Structures are given as structure tokens and as C-alpha cells.
Amino acid sequence: MTEQYSTKSFFRHMPNALLARYFNERGLFGDIDFSAMKEGKPDELFQAWLVLPVNQRSDMDAAFRDIYEMSCEKGFLAIINEAEWQMQETPDDLKAFVEKLSALSNHYERAMITFLDHNSFWKGATRFYHADSLPYWRKRKNMSHNKAAVDEASLNQLAEAIRYYFHHTEGRGNNCVVEPFRRGNLDYYFAYPEDYSQQNIEWVDGEFDRRPHTPAFEIIYVYSQKEGSLDLNFRGSTKAVEPLQGMFANAILKLDELPPDPKDERIYDLSLLLRKDFDFIYDVGSGIGEINVKKLRLSSQVKKGERITLEADPSQDSDAVYDLLDQIGKAIPLNIYNLTQVELSASVSVDPNKPAKQITFRVTHPNSCSLKYDELGLKLRNMLALSGIEPKEPVKSTQGKKVIVTYEGD
């Protein structure tokens, strides 16, 4: 959802009949004739909304914000993913559910109908949507192919390990809860340890003051039994990454110790992007349009830590950054520098009836990429692979005494 949330914007986008259902079920606004209210013109409703007590509005506003966030294609896919898991034993019911939502006129209706009529799907769907929006996942391979445990004892074991670690290393994490979800062939685990107490300036019942509260911070695991891999998203010290992986291996995969992590041998070939005439390759129908280089970072081979960063606006001239490179090359011997980071701008169409989205992302040597693992991110990662920038995963096989190295997709 690109448009910033506001209550009035939510009312404007949501069909009046669904707004009527939501409020009638809560015994509110019975004197408003929603059927007579013009669609997209919720002035009467908004004025009535402003009269409600603040505490009553706050709870509903939080729900509206979630519904608004989920009112998009990515939110709809997350709803379907959760429904597929919960309705796996009743495929006819699943088919009917998907057809019912697909027949609705827009994603606002789909999100609200799910919230009102299929609320058991809501929690998992919102978790998936949130996870899809996060960048910088850390992948670990060689995690065995054991089935992931989801029993209460295993979840409590993981929660207790996380709680103990952060309590003794950082002084936070006094409490922790872990929630498991299944999405296709992947197992998701959302952990919420207790964070440090904070004081926020806020209004409560008309009083303005600093009020203490204790939030949670977030740790997300995504395990693929088929691949034997574990993705981790944790916004904190890198020192905690391996211990967190070890806790998962022990509590959920029932491994005695964390398996060794094979070195990721993939290296982005950024040198290709030093050529002004380089052509990006992508699938027809991917929605990817123009791709431009916005920034180049050059690192010295001679003096450690010495870098040159070139940045230009490609909206008027797609070769602007390369013109800068040519100018720099007249004064500095560029052959003693390696290209170690590139920032790209891509135009991607996701809806033929809407303007293309502009996505900016970075690719950094040796194998770091800021793209997310959502639908757009996966399309652009595939573009990098097809263009020869992101190499294919090496697969080694032995025949006799020879070692033959091939690449997936060959």
C-alpha cells in the first residue's frame, strides 16, 4: 500500500456496505444511512467518528490500519497462502473461498471480507505480508532436512533459549513468545522477545504525558525442509545471528549442534556494469521496463579503505553516471579500482491500469543485495541472474575421480 494511511482515506476507499457491517456489528452509528451515503464521500461518517471516545477509536483505528495495509495484491496473496494451509483438507472449500474473493471488485473489499468473515486467516496473512516487506535476510544452508517441530514444548524451548540469551547478553528479553505458521513448503516462526522499557510522549484520555511501556522486538525464521536452509531476519547485533540459528537448530530441528555453514561461493560480477553499453536481460511479461545505473562505488586495490563514489540522476540522461566515470578516468588510473557496489533504478509495472513502480536497490560485492523477497524483489533478482550479474548456484557432482561442476538451469 503506497498511499499513506489515514482514517478518512480508509473510509473513502472502503465500500459503504462493508463499513456498515463493521460498525453495525459493534453497535455503532445506527443512525447513519450507509446506503444513502455517496461512495467515496464519507464526510458524515467521519464527523460521527470524531465524536467517539479516543480509547474506542484507537482500537478500531489499529484494525483499520492493518486492513488498509493488506488491501493490495501482496496482501491478497498472503491471505490465500494462509487459507491454503488451513483449508488443505477441504480443497473444494478453498477453491470456493479463492473464487469468492477473486470475484470482488478490489483489494479493499478482499481484505475487509477476510477480516470480517474469515478472521482465522487474518493473523497468519498479516504476518506473511510483514515478512515479505523486510529486507536483508541472512541465509544459512546445510541445516539438515529434518521436519520442523511445532509442538508447544518445542516452541517454549525456543522462546526460553531466546529469552535467556538476550537477558544475559543485553539485559532485555525477560519474556518471549514464538508463533509458528506454514506457508506452502516453508515453515515460518515469529519470535517476540521483550525489549527495553521506553517512555513515549502520548495522549491518553485527554492527558499529555510521558508514559512508560515495554515493546517487543522481532525475530523471524523461515525454514525450508526441502532445501535444508534457514533464513533469519533480525535487526540487531550480528553477534546474535549464529546463536539464534543455533537455538532454532536445537529446539525446532532437534539437532545436537548447529551444522557447519558452507561458505557461500557466489560472487556478483559487478565488472559487467562498468560498460556503458551493458544490456539487462529479463523475462517477457515480467513487467520490468527501463533499468538504469544511479551510483557506482569503486574500491582501491592499492590503498585499503580508499573509495570513489559516483552518483548521478539517470531520469534525464541514462548514461549520466558513466559520463562522470569518463571524466574521473581522465585524472585517475581506474584500472587500480574494483567496482564493489552498484545502485540501480528499475521501472516495474505490476498493474496495467497504474503507473509503473520505481524500485531502487543496491548490489554489493561479494554477494549482498538489498532487494526483498517479495514478488517485485524476486522478479528483479531473476533479472540479475539472467543478466549474468548474479551467478547461478554451483552444483558439484562426482563421476569416478573427476569432479564436474555444473550450474542449476544448464
Place of cell 546463536: 243
Locate the domains of the chain by residue range.
7-132, 138-251, 270-394
pLDDT confidence of residue 345: 95
Task: Give tens-digit pLDDT for 341-371.
Answer: 999 999 999 888 888 899 999 998 887 788 8
The band of 400, judged by pLDDT with boundaries at 50, 70 and 90, is very low
Tell me the average pLDDT across 52-71.
93
Q: Is the pLDDT of residue 161 over 90?
A: yes
Residue keyed to cell 456496505: 17
Q: 405 pLDDT band (50/70/90 cuts)?
A: very low
- What are the DSSP calls for 50-111, one per residue? HHS-HHHHHHHHHHHHHHHHT-SHHHHHHHHHHHHHHTTT-HHHHHHHHHHHHTSSSHHHHH
The three grid cell numbers given for residue 131, joined into one nine-digit string: 515478512
The string over 85-112, giving b where at least 16 C-beta atoms fall within 10 Å of a residue's C-beta and e elsewhere, is ebbeeeeeebeebbeebeeeeebbbbbb
Residue-level pLDDT at 269: 85
What span, in angstroms and rounded, lies between the C-alpha atoms of 79 and 345? 30
Q: Give the single-character DSSP code of 308.
A: E
What percentage of the chain has pLDDT greater than the value 70? 92
pTM for this one? Answer: 0.70
- Helix, strand, coil percentages (3-state) for the chain, rounded to 5, are 40, 25, 40
What's the confidence (pLDDT) of residue 408?
37
Residue 262's pLDDT is what? 73
> Do the Cβ atoms of 33 and 96 come closer than 8 Å?
no
Q: Is the pLDDT of residue 244 over 50?
A: yes
Name, of 137-141, 210-214, 258-262, 365-369, the range with top average pLDDT.
137-141
| Amino acid type, 363 | V
pLDDT one-digit tens code per residue, 105-114: 999 999 999 9
Residue 261 has pLDDT above 60, yes or no: yes
Q: Tell me the C-alpha distance between 322 and 316, whole Å.
A: 13
| pLDDT of 410 above 50 | no
